[in-house]
Amino acid sequence: MKETWVNDPGKGIRWRGFALRVALGFPDGPRAGMAALGFLWVQRLINKYEEVRCDRFFDADRQLKK
């Protein structure tokens, strides 16, 4: 499965130092995932906690091919 991350979890300090790190997956491509307001809302709600870091990723293989 090819995944597309909004922020690369392997990059530096962003993910370090948090008590809980969450990866929130969307079962479609980035275009549909960014349009799903509930998906974005859940990420923002999780990130309101200072000790938690949440990022989202998308399953790009499920996109419709032209």
Range 44-52 contact pairs with CB under 8 angstroms and sequence separation of 24 or more: 46/22, 49/20, 51/18, 51/19, 51/20, 52/18, 52/19, 52/20, 52/21, 52/22
Residues 17-54 have pLDDT tens digits of 889 988 888 887 777 877 888 888 999 999 999 999 88
pTM of the prediction? Answer: 0.63
pLDDT at 46: 93
39: left (phi over 0), alpha (psi -120 to 50) or beta: alpha
Would you say residue 3 has pLDDT above 90? Answer: no
Name the residue ranges covered by the structural domains of the chain: 19-66
Six-digit token pair at 25? 């997956």
Q: Which of 66, 55, 64 is nearest to 28 (CA)?
A: 64
> Between these two residues, 66 and 53, which has the higher pLDDT value?
53
pLDDT at 33: 79
